[in-house]
Amino acid sequence: MDVHEYQAKELLARFNVPVPAGGLAYSPEQAAYRARELGGDAWVIKAQVHAGGRGKAGGVKLCRDRHEVWQAADGMLGHTLVTNQTGPAGKGVYRLLVEAGQNIARELYLGFVLDREHERIVIVGSDQGGMEIEEIARQHPESMHRRLVDPSVGLPAFQARDLAFALGFRGGEIAQAIKVIQGAYRAFRDLDATMVEINPLVVTQEGNVLVLDCKMQVDDNALYRRPEVADMRDRSQEDPRETHAVDRGLSYVGLDGQIGCIVNGAGLAMATLDMIKLAGGEPANFLDIGGGATPERVAEAFQLVRQDGEVKAILVNIFAGINRCDWVAQGIVQAVEQTGLDLPLVVRLSGTHVEEGRRILADSGLAITTAATLKEAAQKAVAALDGQSAAHTEVPA
């Protein structure tokens, strides 16, 4: 689960990580009031959306007086912000972070992620902050510094100090940098985060080390024990299809194709997407209905896939181990009858009670195309989609 920048900073502040003074605004008037509260002669207005690249898209504005603050807020709130990470649909802006301007002397990068190969948390730092980490790695590979953290020991001060020296902190900055590194690490660990990215981490002309911007992602599977983080969920920033799926215990990711996929198991789902691509098609989604594929669960998955107006054909690929093919078949028949499905439907069943499942589909009298293998199912789904497209483009006599 993603959280907004202001929420990530609130969480970091609980671990004694220094962040700029700021406040939230839901209207231009409130933004101007926040600026007056903060004082000073410069403020930064930031659109709060779950995406990077806001500055280039006009979602971050530096203002020199409260009238500029009002205008900047009015130009963002209620509008859609399109960045290189939002896709063409963009994200709606419904809240702003108003922060006091800083006299920036240096910008750095600091990130915490899971290194699955080494089964460790890895800290990635660079003295070239303010740009995407991919761009930093490409343009300034020599600036990248990595430190693996042993989970049985945690992050000791000497390791944080070593990284601080590598990043070029000097004098009184070092103690502050250690505080940021250790605090961010504790936040990552104690909040069950999967990513904490501080970019930029800045040194001001006054010699202060501050987190100027931060992104944080938290493991969805741990939210049950992190209610203070779960309450930060902003549904307005999520794909409504994915939100609908999560609320019903399904794993769904929307894609850009036209073949909807209903599969049990993440690995099988990935293989199904690959096979559709190899057959010349484009998958419309990743949908894992999990191990308990009851008829009701399968019917719910059909409803979810149908919500995508771009879907022109559906492929169901079930390997029943814990599941039962007859239950899945019942769910398919139930879903087709309830929704009046008018799209090509290809079903491949394998595993427990497969013969009974195939019999249920055959006896239903519904227009369901069956397949014995995944390759055959993908080819039939693509062929059905191509046939439908040809029918729609045919000119009547």
**Residues in a beta bridge with 2:** 217
- CB 312, CB 348: distance < 8 Å: no
| The Cα angle at residue 219 between residues 217 and 225, in degrees rounded to 5 | 120
Binding residues for Mg(2+) are 199, 213
DSSP strand pairing (285-288 vs 251-254): antiparallel
111 φ/ψ angles, rounded to the nearest 5 degrees = -135, 150
Binding residues for substrate are 264
Known catalytic membership, residue 197: yes
Cis peptide before 200 (omega within 30 of 0): yes
Catalytic residue among 6, 109, 185, 252: 109
**Residues in a beta bridge with 112:** 123, 196
- CB 241, CB 252: distance < 8 Å: yes
Q: Token pair for residue 385? A: 């989609």
109 φ/ψ angles, rounded to the nearest 5 degrees = -120, 140
What distances in angstroms separate CA 275 from CA 150, 169, 190, 272, 292, one per listed residue? Answer: 39, 50, 40, 5, 24
Alpha-carbon gap, residue 268 to 355, rounded angstroms: 21
Binding residues are 46, 53-55, 99, 102, 107, 199, 213, 264
Catalytic residue among 5, 6, 173, 197: 197
Binding residues for ATP are 46, 53-55, 99, 102, 107
* Residues belonging to the active site: 109, 197
